[in-house]
Structure 1
C-alpha cells in the first residue's frame, strides 16, 4: 500500500488541533471533505486513528504512533522537493540558517573563496525552528544554539559564549554587578524553561515540583519589549544581548549559569559537497577563539 501524503497532512492537522472544524479551517477545506479523507486513511491503514465522541476528538494508540512517524516523514518530503527544485536552478544555492546574535559573514566569505559560483542565502531562525528548517529543507545547514534534538542530525561544536539575564532598568537587581540563578528563580521567565535548565531546576524546586508556565514568545525583539515593560526577564547569549542593546533594559552576568554552545548542524543523511565545504569554512572561521568568547 502506498500512503497518500495529502491524507497524512490532513491527519496531522487534525491531530494537532484535536478538532475537525479547526483543522478544516486551517487546511482551507470543508469539514465533511476532511472527515471523509480521514475515514479513507483509516480504511487504508486498517486502524482507527481518532476516538470521536461527545468529549471531543482524541488520538488512539495507533494515531499517536502515526503522528510520531508522520511529522518527520512529511518534513523529509518537503525537504526532498525543495532540494530537487534548488538543483534544477542554473545557479547552485546553499541556504544557511542562523540564530540571532551570531555573525555569519566570516564563514560565508571563506565559503565564497572555495565555491565562488554558489549563491548563499541566509535564513534567520529562532529557538523553536532552528532544527525544523533543517528537517524540512528550508535550510541546508544551520548555525544553531544548543541544546537541540540531535536525532537525524550531524552536530559539530563551534564555540561557546557566556549568557546573561536581561532585566528592566527599574528592577530590584538591576544595580547589581552580577546575580545568581537563585536570585532569579521567582521571576517570570519569558522563554522556554528548557532553554535555561539551571533556572528551570531551581524554579521547579521552589514551586514544589510544579513546572513554571511560560508564554510562547519566539522573537528576541518581543522578549525585550516585554522585559522593558516589567512583564518578566529573559536569558540571552552575550552576543545577542549586546546586539540588541537598548536603554530600558540591563544585561547582567549570572553566577551558576553555564555558557551557550554554538554549533553547526545538518541532516546526517546529506552528502552534499556544498554542505561539507561550508562546514569546513565555518569551523575554520567561527570556531576560532575570539575576544568575545574568551570574555
Structure 2
C-alpha cells in the first residue's frame, strides 16, 4: 500500500480541528472534497479514523494512532525535500545545531579537516524547537539537552555537566560558594513551558538574563552557560545536589547518512 502524504496532511488538519468545515477552510478546499479524501484514506488504511455523529467529530483509536505517527511522517517527508533541494543547489553540506553553552567549534573543525569537500554550518537551537528543527531538516543533527521529545530521534549521550543557580547580583544568596536545592526553597522559579495564557514562553539565554536581573525569578543553568555568558547584574552559584544536565547528539532516527555517522564519531571522541 502506498500512503498518500497529501491525504495524511488533510487528516492531520481535520484531527487537530475536529471539524471538517474549519479544516476545509484552512486547507482552502471544498468540504465535500476534503470528506472524499478522508474516506479514501480510510479505505487505503482499511480503518475508520473518525467518528462522525450529531455531537461532532472525534478520533477513533486508529485515528489517534495515525495522528501520533503522521506528524513525524510529514516532517520526515519535508526534511527529505529540504535536503534534496539543498543538495541540488550546491556542494554537500552538514548543518549542526547546538544549545546555548555547548561548544561545537572543535568538533566542527575536526570534521571539516577530515571532510574538506563538505560545507559545515552551525546553528543555535532552543529548548522548544530543538527536536522540530531536526525532524524538518533545518539542521541535520544537533547537540540537545533534556527535556527531549524523543519520538523520531536517535540520541547519542555525550557528556553531563553540573548545574548552577542563576541569581540577580543583589540576591540574598549571591555571595555563597555553593548552594543546596533546599536553600532555594520558597524562591520563585522562571516558567519555561506551558506558560499561562497571558505569559510569553522564555526561550533564550538572553531572555533568562532579563527575567532574572529584573527579579522575576531564578533558574538553574548548565555550568557551561555560566562560563560563557556573564553580566554584571547576574551571578552564578554552584548547586552540587541539582540533577546534572545531560547533552546528547540527536538526529532523525530514519536517516542512514555517512556524514551524520562520521560527525557522531567525532563528537563522541571529543566528549
TM-score category of the 2 structures, normalised to the smaller one: 0.7 to 0.9
Unaligned runs of 5+ in 2: none
In structure 2, distance between residues paired with 1:157 and 1:73: 25
The residue number in structure 1 matching 2:38 is 42
Aligned to 1:205: none
Q: Deviations over 1:224-263 (max 9, x none)?
A: 2122222222221111233221122222212421221222
Instruction: Decide whether aligned partners of structure 1 residues 10 and 113 sit closer, same or farther in structure 2, where only a CA change above 3 A counts.
Output: same
Cα distance, 1:118 vs structure 2: 0.8
1:201-216 → structure 2 map (5 Å cutoff):
216=201
Which residue in 1 is equivalent to 2:257?
A: 272
Shift in Å, 1:20:
7.1
| Structure-1 separation of matches of 2:182 and 2:143 | 31
The alpha carbon displacement at 1:175 in A equals 3.4
Distance in 2, Cα, partners of 1:268 & 1:83: 15
TM-score, length basis structure 1: 0.75
SS of the residue corresponding to residue 239 of structure 2 reads strand
Provide, for residues 72-127 of structure 1, a one-character-per-residue CA deviation record: whole Å limited to 9, x for no partner: 11111112212222332431111111111111111111111111111112221111
Change (3 A) 1:152 1:48: closer
Does the aligned pair in 2 maintain the 1:7–1:37 contact within 8 Å? no
Instruction: Say whether 1:134 aligns with 2:134.
Output: yes
What do the CA deviations read for 1:192-226 (whole angstroms, capped 9, x no partner)? Answer: 49xxxxxxxxxxxxxxxxxxxx9632222122212
The aligned length equals 261
**Conserved in 2, the CA contact under 8 Å of 1:10 and 1:34?**
no
1:66 aligns with 2:66: yes
Counterpart position of 1:122: 122
Shift of 1:134: 2.1
Kept after mapping to 2: 8 A contact 1:99/1:145: yes
Contact 2:97 2:141 in 1 (8 A): yes
SS in 1 for 2:70: helix
Aligned pair in 2 of structure 1 residues 125, 57: CA closer, same or farther (>3 Å)? farther
TM-score, structure 2 length as denominator? 0.81
Q: Which runs of 5+ in 1 are unaligned?
A: 194-213, 288-295
Q: Tell me how far 1:167 sits from its aligned partner.
A: 1.8
Whether the aligned pair in 1 keeps the contact of 2:72 and 2:152 (CA below 8 Å) is no
Aligned to 1:201: none
RMSD: 3.0
Task: Indicate how the Cα distance of structure 1 residues 238 and 78 shifts in structure 2: closer, same or farther if over 3 A, else same.
Answer: same
What is the alpha-carbon distance in structure 1 between the residues aligned to residue 233 and residue 136 of structure 2?
38
Q: Which residue of 1 aligns with 2:207?
A: 222
SS where residue 281 of structure 1 aligns? helix
Query: What's 2:243 paired with?
Result: 258
1:18 shift after superposition: 5.6
1:232 match: 217
